[in-house]
Structure 1
């Protein structure tokens, strides 16, 4: 199915990560600036928000299984000049990304800026295992391999519910509206199929090119890479590799170093992104490529990468495959059971592109046909719209924001109106 030579090369990259993992000598920001790194690639979420005039906060929460996560909040967009709307919006990133991915395209294109500019109280979580959420109440990710025993299923069962509950408790709202991209879409689907008590906590789910079954993924590089993790998972565990593609790892360091150069970013780095996804001329600005490599890849577990390898080779959307023997222990069946998509009764909007090589139109159409409450299955008008465009294209304001805005408005109201109504009710109690 795949050439052995290709898999050996990918495995070598994974092993190099192990070699360089513990070399933590940090280069100062000042020195990196002198070396030509763009400033925005060195700034974190709150620093980026502050730079462009957005009021932001950093929050910490703990999941039921002990993972400590970082979530950011933009309380008011710079271009929001009216009252804040309710309920809050949760904006969830994709695979190997972090909250920073929503900022990398700048204030005219990054969805964190654009959605907050629509006067929404915006919350931007980080999944366990990325560089913002690499803590645990008991486990040390550098020493305890148990920390890395997770995949997208745990994101959905623990991380997303913890984020929702935190926002609801903090804001005293009854619901949130959810915007999830790629893995952020698949986690939404899994959560709502496994933990149906969260249906009443969500107004609408707006899923941007969501992952599910991925049998028709056209990205050969992603197929080879995740398959390498899948078939070598046991071996990687034996040699002590549990973390995949961390920020500060060899892959990210080399990418950031090379892509800081404008010419290399516009040629080599742009072409590499096109190999992972597809070619969309003029969509992602060169400066965005220079910036994003400072925040991507953001890290995850090798188990999660192996789960994606599994997802691209089975014709269903299913739980993690441990092999027949352990599957019997875990699930009571030799094969991992599929997720019950018919249980996802939350109103859902699906937005996707025809040129997406990671979550293909065929798989997305399969998904929408299995969901019981799809408000709209919307294809972006631009025929070249691809997967990375959601986070990095400078066309987001015209290509996907209007549809996001439409459904957020349908499931929102002015917060002051909500407060006034509550005060009136309390007055006559």
Structure 2
């Protein structure tokens, strides 16, 4: 086995290569899936949400959501294998984190992936995608490959437009008045933005369940994460002059390199598992080798440079606030020289927070800071496994034991059985 020093060097080398290739906008034509299969890529890593869910006997539907500002989002509805007419209401909306897509909830496999677990419990599950990832890289007017305006968004716009539009669509389609919302990391932070900025929308949720919710990230411990965020924050303007507005897109050279390096059992654990641990923290065995081989076929899923820069600001601020454009532009946009703080007291929905002691991306100090400002916390639960980290909430083999019982407890409290739509 390679030494830890060699693995660290290899990981840093790969990271630098990925960033350089992204900055230079090198074009890459990936192998087609037939060639990838012959090269040993796991089949699961090559499938999209509907293909992957159907491979394991689940039925899924693809739906299209149009936001008020013209972004076209693809979302999915997935049904359990043995639910028949026993679906519970209201529907659940499950939302991914930064650089992820809906696929994140399937990558750990049918016995532990959260989308599978919720579907098997006969919940009417809808799985969202936020603007800029490969399922939501469309607009009714703007071309993401030609129009820089497409990429001028961050969590601020996602929370203001994407989350409300998705909620509205699901409720209209299911003819329900409310839903239950589960948000992971960015998927939680954008829900808070919505509650602060869009009066009435918070009332459309019965319960909010936050998995490692990302509001401010002042105490982030991850050095690679902070270097990336602060570097992009500092270089956003310079990157724009080179025409770079999108980062880590699926199918880009950066993602294809990761997928290639992680496809093999011989390299996935040593290189990709260690790399993931260096970004977050070490939790041996939690994200197993097979999941690593699959998830890097779908991750990273892409976002805007502007969104990464926004996170770069979040690690430097002690507040959960809007994008800071500088005093002159802030005055023009917000009417104040400082960016306004989001009103967390507006998150009036009953709230459950689950978090890990070993999370190096959203530190426990920031979680506790957040909990003190949320007015209706039903329970804040530190996961009993002391090594539970940030990525575990999406990809761990221990999801069924560590977090699903609490999630299911509160979903049952706010659910009822109804005939299938």
TM-score normalised by length of structure 1? 0.93
C-alpha deviation, 1:15, in angstroms? 4.2
Q: Which residue is equivalent to 1:218?
A: 221
Q: Which residue is equivalent to 1:153?
A: 156
Question: Please, which of 39, 52, 57 is the counterpart of residue 53 of structure 1?
Answer: 57
Question: Please, which of 274, 286, 289 is the counterpart of residue 271 of structure 1?
Answer: 274
Question: Contact 1:215–1:311 (CA<8 Å) still a contact in 2?
Answer: yes
Query: What does 1:326-365 align with in structure 2 at a 5 Å threshold?
Result: 326-365=329-368
Question: Contact 1:10–1:228 (CA<8 Å) still a contact in 2?
Answer: no
CA distance in 2, matches of 1:41, 1:16: 23
Q: Which residue is equivalent to 2:35?
A: 31
CA distance in 2, matches of 1:96, 1:123: 19
Q: Secondary structure at the match of 1:232?
A: helix
Q: Which residue is equivalent to 1:385?
A: 388
1:41 matched to 2:69? The reply is: no
Question: Contact 2:258–2:296 (CA<8 Å) still a contact in 1?
Answer: yes
Question: Contact 1:10–1:225 (CA<8 Å) still a contact in 2?
Answer: no
Question: Contact 1:131–1:246 (CA<8 Å) still a contact in 2?
Answer: yes
CA RMSD of aligned residues (A): 1.7
CA distance in 2, matches of 1:386, 1:314: 22
Q: Secondary structure at the match of 2:201?
A: helix
- Give CA-to-partner distance per residue, 1:100-131, whole Å, 9 cap, x none: 01000000111010011111111011101000
Q: Secondary structure at the match of 1:330?
A: helix
Q: Which residue is equivalent to 2:105?
A: 102
Q: Secondary structure at the match of 1:196?
A: coil
Q: Which residue is equivalent to 1:412?
A: 415
Q: Give the unaligned 5+ runs of structure 1.
A: 1-6, 420-429
CA distance in 2, matches of 1:299, 1:251: 10
Q: Which residue is equivalent to 1:14?
A: 19
Q: Which residue is equivalent to 2:7?
A: none
TM-score normalised by length of structure 2? 0.95
Question: Contact 2:194–2:202 (CA<8 Å) still a contact in 1?
Answer: no
Question: Contact 2:85–2:418 (CA<8 Å) still a contact in 1?
Answer: no
Q: Give the unaligned 5+ runs of structure 2.
A: 1-11
Q: Secondary structure at the match of 1:328?
A: helix
Task: Identify if the C-alpha distance between structure 1 residues 21 and 132 changes in structure 2 by more than 3 Å, giving closer, same or farther.
Answer: farther
Q: Which residue is equivalent to 2:375?
A: 372
Q: Which residue is equivalent to 1:247?
A: 250
Q: Which residue is equivalent to 1:85?
A: 88
CA distance in 2, matches of 1:398, 1:70: 30
Indicate the larger mover: 12-21 or 341-350.
12-21
Question: Contact 2:25–2:244 (CA<8 Å) still a contact in 1?
Answer: no
CA distance in 1, matches of 2:287, 2:83: 26
C-alpha deviation, 1:383, in angstroms? 0.6
- Give CA-to-partner distance per residue, 1:151-182, whole Å, 9 cap, x none: 00111000011100000111101111000000
* Ranges of 4+ aligned residues in structure 1 off by more than 3 Å: 7-15, 18-23, 79-82
CA distance in 1, matches of 2:171, 2:182: 16
